Structure 1
Amino acid sequence: MTTPDAALLESYLVRTRWFGGKGRPFEVDHVRSIAEVPAHQGRPSLTVYLVTVTYSDEDAGSELYQVPLSGYDDIEERISHAYVGAIDTDGGLVHLYDAVHDREAMRIWLDGFIAAETTGTSQIDRLRFRRVPGGDPLDDTLVSSPMTGEQSNSSARFDDTAIMKLFRKVSPGINPDIEIHEELTRGGSEHIAQLYGWVEIDVDGELLQTAMLQEFLATATDGFELAVASVRTLLADPEQNVEDSGGDFAGEAARLGEALANIHALMRSRFPAESRGAETTAELASTMRDRLDYARRSVPGLEPSVPQLQRLYDAVAALDELDIQRVHGDLHLGQTLRTSHGWRIVDFEGEPGRPFAQRSLPDSPWRDVAGMLRSFDYAAAMIEMSWATDAEVDEGHALRAERAREWSARAREHFVDAYVTAAASDDGEAASDAGGASSDAGDDTASAQLTGASRVLLDAYVADKAVYEVMYEIRNRPTWVSIPLEALERVANT
């Protein structure tokens, strides 16, 4: 098929949710077809393009995007919202659509996964389909529909059976989301959406993984949405104590802590894990100090906490060892789902802006724990701030702010305590020996064993995450910068 020109693709990219370059000066400087499936039996043609985007701002650089397009001879009104444009070909005018929004095009991926059920692999043109043994069989009558709300990738569900995530920004190599899900699925984890398979292709001698198929969790509720609903219920009647209200999240937080501990334990059994010495802790502390030094130059509000944070990072540098393993790497409530069968943790892709090689490096599991603690804080603060107005400085506002802080403190405390208890059970050793943790709030009610090196590490990871948040908020949502600043003050006073 004739390749779409750069101008057509540029106008399309800026209309999508998943394109990461919106607001930056860019141009499409290379378009390449990596798979072509001709139209047949009433189905459209499918062409998968790799689109190279180059930026001309001070950050410069380039990114590679996957753009699968379905082609029709006539306009398809049913998917007019996904229209990309038309191109002239030897066979006449062809109208192009985003294939993820096209149920007829999505049947091509479904066919590939079904064909791979028996042998574990199948191929359609250059697209190679892989299946994980033991997955449920797929029905060729399944109908796809695109999922809404996703940011960096695109997903479509096949009825209530499966969901396919198509990676938009792609890089050569093994995608951590596929790699980790495969190992956790083979290991029998009950706290993930089971991996059914994935799609890959060889491009210039390098492996490119382009999509993954997973169990669809029909009863799932987004973890962040569940948390903010809990806070909203509490603040609607702030006269109640948190633990006595319908808005208490402590039990859910504890169950989520147990789920994370179980996943970390399974990761340790499926991937290499090791203990590194003082050189690693010194390097970690140095990285944290550098981030703090950079942030304090832009945010004067950090200064009161700086001396205590520096002492905390000194304590990290003084540690003799650091246990590292594969971790989630970008964990927050938005990466969790609450189902009728318990919590599931999703999206093991890591930080999208980092190369695969960096995302796959082992790290301390306390980084994941810290990410979740910060997410509890944001859930509470976001709803509390939504209640406040410029004119509302009355007693009711102060009480709601107090209740929101109590909600967050209880969620953090119960999450950490449950995590440490489950981790000790999974590892068969005391949490303190494995680096048990303390809540970043410094709560007096935290378990007695949550002390020592693990407390230093968790507090340091929480502080480092909050420093990162300070810089993000000051650039994007200045009125929210008080959220991470308050957390840093809390850590500094622990």
Structure 2
Amino acid sequence: MRGLAELPVPEEAQDDARVTVYLVTVDYTDDEGGSEQYQVPLSSYDDAQERIAYAFVGSVEGGDGRIRHLYDGAHDRSAMALWLQGFIAAEASGTAQKDGMRFRRVSVPGQELDPGLQSSPLTGEQSNSSVKFDDTAIMKLFRKVSPGVNPDIEIHEVLTRGGSDYVADLYGWIETDLPDGGVLQLAMLQEFLRTASDGFELATGSVRTLLAHLELSVEESGGDFAGEATRLGEALAAVHRMLRDSFPAQGRGEDSTGELAGAMIARLEHARRIVPEIEPYADRLRAAYDAVAALGRLDVQRVHGDLHLGQTLRTSQGWKIVDFEGEPGRPFAERALPDSPWRDVAGMLRSFDYAARVVEMSGTGGDETEAPLRAQRAREWSARARRLFLEGYVAALGAEAGPEQQRGVLLDAYVADKAVYEAVYEKRNRPSWIPIPLAALERIGG
């Protein structure tokens, strides 16, 4: 463990307060080996702080023999005020240096930060920590950090500067220089969306409304998600267009479609060893992948990379797409590689299917004779939402969506590939949910 930065504490703060950002390296001794780095901001005091007792980490003896009490800095308003001050100091020139950390600002008209903003940590996250500054801004503190440019920051900066209506504006980020000349990005500050609702929760709420009125069709019930699905498709199309225009995009030849199909087939063969239930669909899945190889051309660009309803927010101004970090666990360089936008579309289609089936399967205490009708209504909701999302996306892109036959081949393959991944995940973690991806696989080529 080494200290990255020790932030200067204002004179009016408690005399004994210290705030230090540490970089902790975890080495693994199992067969896979390797190591990971984590950012740990700690505030320390001579006296115990009851106001943040719940964030107590431990006590250590300092070089002067005094005992210091350590707390998670993300939960300490005094510590987070220093982060806020760093961003405010960067407003004029775009950059401010505080010890070993560099604060970078993105100019967003009318979004100057008030030094009196109060921080409060959000709960429910696992890999990162988020801290809200009143109802103005939210800072995502990256816990696990890797050298290089974080795609979440990189893409949000481009979309913010481009004036996209479909993301929360990026206000800035924090980074530090590495001894080898590289950079380590530690946090990002964004617009706080006051009226935001989670996309997956909205979708499942829609399904619950439908299933509470089984006598009504999807269109007649208050659970129709058609308009929202269409608008979400339009939002994704706009984001994809700006990403294509802002980052290098290219058309690749037949080698690329063959490689894509080969990778999908390899994942299928791996999955068959874990999920034997896939076997009845294997031939049709291989046929879907072979059809990709036969296309001979693949258009690729920067994409979201891990898109589903949980990565969307519905606000009073419309849909926003969030969390452009890409697929967790992959190096930044791999996440930044161009890919087909149909991968993002497929991820969203699978998410609509999950929203419907999760609600249907969780129904308890109802009349068992209604189970078949519940299943039918859930399928109808999913099919309608998927169709209208796709129609909204294609209509917004127009000719840019490509020939119908080509996009159909790619979409079938990407949906199948995603469902194969889901089948493996559910087999290992939630066996009772495996019917969800298996039902999707049954539809491929059927």
Q: What SS does the aligned partner of 2:314 have?
A: strand
Provide the C-alpha distance between the structure 2 equivalents of 1:281 and 1:477, rounded to a whole number of angstroms: 33
Give the Cα separation in 1 of the matches to 2:329 and 2:400.
36
Counterpart for residue 94 of structure 1: 68
Partner of 2:371: 397
Q: What does 1:475-494 correspond to in 2, within 5 Å?
A: 475-493=428-446
The answer (yes or no) to whether the contact 2:9–2:82 under 8 Å persists in 1 is no
Unaligned runs of 5+ in 1: 1-30, 436-450
Q: How many residues align?
A: 440
CA drift of 1:250 comes to 1.3
Deviations, residues 289-312 of structure 1 (Å, cap 9, x unaligned)? 000011112212111111111111
Q: 2:44 corresponds to which residue?
A: 71
State the alpha-carbon separation in 2 of the partners of residues 70 and 486 from structure 1: 51
Cα distance in 1 for residues equivalent to 2:369 and 2:388? 29
* 2:87 maps to amino acid: F
Match of 1:42 in 2: 13
Please give the residue correspondences for 1:182-193 in structure 2 after superposition, counting only pairs within 5 Å: 182-193=157-168
Bigger shift: 195-204 or 56-65?
A: 56-65
Deviation at 1:269, TM superposition (A): 1.1
Letter of the 1:291 partner, please give it: R
* Equivalent position of 1:469 in the other structure: 422
Provide the residue aligned with 2:285 in structure 1.
309
> Which residue is 2:138 aligned to?
163
Query: Residue 252 of structure 2 corresponds to which residue in structure 1?
Result: 276
Separation in structure 2 between the aligned mates of residue 488 and residue 401 of structure 1, nearest angstrom:
17
Q: Distance in 2 between matches of 1:38 and 1:191?
A: 37
Structure 1 residues 16-66: Cα deviation after superposition (integer angstroms, max 9, x where no partner): xxxxxxxxxxxxxxx111111244421531111111112233433221111
The aligned runs of 1:125-274 (5 Å cut-off) are 125-135=99-109, 136-204=111-179, 205-274=181-250
Distance 1:90 1:430 in 2: 64
Match 2:392 to one of 413, 418, 434:
418
Structure 2 residue 79 is the aligned partner of structure 1 residue 105:
yes
1:267 CA drift (Å)? 0.6
Aligned to 1:486, the other structure's residue is in SS state: helix
Tell me the distance in 1 between the aligned counterparts of 2:142 and 2:348. 25
* Distance of 1:387 and 1:394 partners within structure 2: 10
Judge which range, 255-264 or 196-205, deviates more.
196-205
Query: 1:330-357: per-residue Cα shift (whole Å, max 9, x none)?
Result: 0001100000000000000001200000
Alpha-carbon contact 1:79-1:97 (below 8 Å) kept: yes
Query: Relative contact order, CA 8 A, sep 6+: which one is greater?
Result: 2
Pick the aligned partner of 1:59 from 32, 35, 53: 32
The offset of 1:394, in angstroms, is: 3.1
TM-score by length of 2: 0.97
Which residue number corresponds to residue 326 of structure 1? 302
Tell me, what secondary structure is at the counterpart of 1:260?
helix
Q: Match for 1:49: what amino acid?
A: Y
- Give the distance between the partners of 1:430 and 1:88, measured in 2 at CA: 63
* Residue 381 (str. 1) matches residue 357 (str. 2): yes
SS of the residue 1:243 aligns to: coil
* TM-aligned CA deviation for residue 423 of structure 1: 1.1
**What is the DSSP-based 3-state SS (H/G/I as helix, E as strand, rest coil) of the residue aligned with 1:208?**
strand
The amino acid across from 1:54 in the alignment is D
Report if the CA contact (8 A) 1:388-1:397 is conserved.
no
Q: Specify every segment of 5 or more residues in structure 2 that has no aligned partner in the other structure, as ranges.
A: none
1:457 aligns with 2:430: no
1:275 touches 1:323 (CA, 8 Å); kept in 2? yes
Task: Give distance in 2, aligned partners of 1:53 and 1:475.
Answer: 26
Q: Deviation per CA, 1:455-489: give whole Å up to 9, x if none.
A: 00001000000000111110011111110010010
Any conservation in 2 of the 1:305–1:492 contact (CA below 8 Å)?
Answer: no
Alpha carbons of structure 1 residues 430 and 349: separation in structure 2 relative to 1, 3 Å: closer
Assess if the C-alpha contact under 8 Å between 1:33 and 1:48 holds in 2: yes
More displaced, 310-319 or 296-305?
Answer: 296-305
- Output the CA distance in 2 between the equivalents of 1:134 and 1:316: 42
Residues 416-472 of structure 1: per-residue CA shift (max 9 Å, x gap): 000000011xxxx364xx24xxxxxxxxxxxxxxx3111000010000000001111
1:492 alignment partner, SS class: coil
> CA–CA distance in 2 between the matches of 1:492 and 1:469?
18
Listed one character per residue, the Cα deviations across residues 217-239 of structure 1 (whole Å, up to 9, x for unaligned) are: 00000111111111111111111
Q: 2: CA distance between counterparts of 1:292 and 1:82?
A: 45
Q: Distance in 1 between matches of 2:385 and 2:252?
A: 31
Aligned to 1:409: 383
Preserved contact between residue 52 and residue 62 of structure 1 (Cα < 8 Å) = yes
Residues 80-119 of structure 1: CA deviation (Å, up to 9, x unaligned): 1111001110241111111111111000110000000001
Q: Which amino acid aligns with 2:285?
A: L
The residue aligned with 1:14 is none
Secondary structure in 1 aligned to 2:395?
helix
Code of the aligned partner of 1:118: A
Q: Distance in 2 between matches of 1:120 and 1:298?
A: 51
Given that residues 257 and 293 in structure 2 are in contact (C-alpha distance below 8 angstroms), is that contact kept between their aligned partners in structure 1?
yes
In the alignment, the residues of structure 1 paired with residue 52 and residue 359 of structure 2 have an alpha-carbon distance, to the nearest angstrom, of: 37
| C-alpha distance in 2 between matches for 1:293 and 1:166 | 38
Whole-Å separation in 2 of the counterparts to 1:36 and 1:208? 16
